[in-house]
Amino acid sequence: MSDSFFSKNDPLEDFVSDFSGRDEVKAERIETVHRQRQVTVRDFYESARERLDMELVAGEKGLDNVIGEKSLNRPALALTGYFKHFGNRRLQLFGAGEISYLSDLRPETQMVLLEEIFAKGIPGIIVSRGLRPTPSMIDLSNSFGVPVLRSRLKSKDFTAEATMLLDQEFAPETNIHGTLMEVRGKGVLIRGESGVGKSECALALIERGYLLVADDYVTVKLVGDNTLIGSSKELNYGFMECRGIGIINVASMFGVRSVRRSKRIDLVVSLVHWKDGMEEERTGMETQVFEVLGKRIPKIQLAVRPGRDMARLVEVAVMVHTLREMGHDPAQELNERLISTMEKHLQEDA
């Protein structure tokens, strides 16, 4: 084919040769060290105290107890003495039903039932609705070293919020070299070798009104089963490095609306130095993905060379990706049009 993809001098057969159908998915995998955090009751309490309206009632010495699972457990059956499948590694949530049941029991009976629960090695107890823990619960909390927290939220509301927070706390995470931007509502991770122009590309995007999430060092968390969330470390939040200029405070230069704390990663754009003779994708039929924490993200590779507006190309790449998500694939549409034209020509020649 000629240098121009749509050259009128090319025969139709050559024109279609690049549209032989979708290629196999090409995946880029990077070796990352991902961490599964050990979450303590202290971590949970300090990070969610205001959001969940919590206070520490007793058992302060047990704040470093490790929460083993990210779900909450309602110990209603355990209060009747049934401990099969008891979630002793979870935080125990005592709502109105559990507290009312305990309050109707004699103090000696309360002590026996609660002592059996505390002896299972539970990490902590939460009492919802602002209810008062029983004296037996407070005594056992201090003796077993199990913290008792109280929240003014209803049990249902507390469970919904706490489960989401624990899911984030337990999420596996890793660190990736790159720059994370929000472009047209999508999280775009710009990757490439050092000096290829990631920060310069990001700076041009910021000038066009898009948002910086993290520069150079992106922390990625797998929240839930499929959502990859990228964020910046607190130390370098809002800052970026531009070679030849130095460190830039993006929020101070472009305003606080030019930065954000975190963003779901929807697309990876890989910048590579252009070399004479290198093959570049010309049809968009090749599917590429970037794999991190066991999850795949669509990827587009762009060659960097003089005269190319990389920021504009990244912006267009995001628009193409968005169209594909909506079911409109321009490469596939053109491929189908070409095949239809060839079939028509074959019928006319027959």
Give the residue numbers annotated as catalytic, written as ranges: 177, 198, 216, 282
Give the whole-angstrom CA distance, residue 67 versus residue 167: 12
Instruction: Decide if 45 contacts 56 (C-beta within 8 A).
Output: yes
Count of H helices and E strands in the chain?
A: 10, 20
DSSP letters for 171-235: --EEEEESEEEEETTEEEEEEESTTSSHHHHHHHHHHTT-EEEESSEEEEEEETTTEEEEE--GG
Q: Which residues pair with 223 in a beta bridge?
A: 227
DSSP character for 49? T
CA angle 145, 150, 155 (to 5 degrees): 120
Give backbone dihedrals phi and psi of 262, rounded to 5 degrees, phi first.
-155, 165
Give the whole-angstrom CA distance, residue 281 versus residue 22: 13
DSSP character for 132? P
Tokens read off for 240: 């970026």
Residue 63: in which H helix or E strand, if any? Answer: none
CB atoms within 10 A of CB 85: 7
Q: What Cα–Cα distance (Å) separates residue 28 from each residue in 34, 179, 297, 298?
A: 17, 17, 10, 10
Q: What Cα–Cα distance (Å) separates residue 192 from each residue in 135, 245, 300?
A: 61, 20, 12
For helices 41-48 and 155-170, the axis angle rounded to 10 degrees is 120
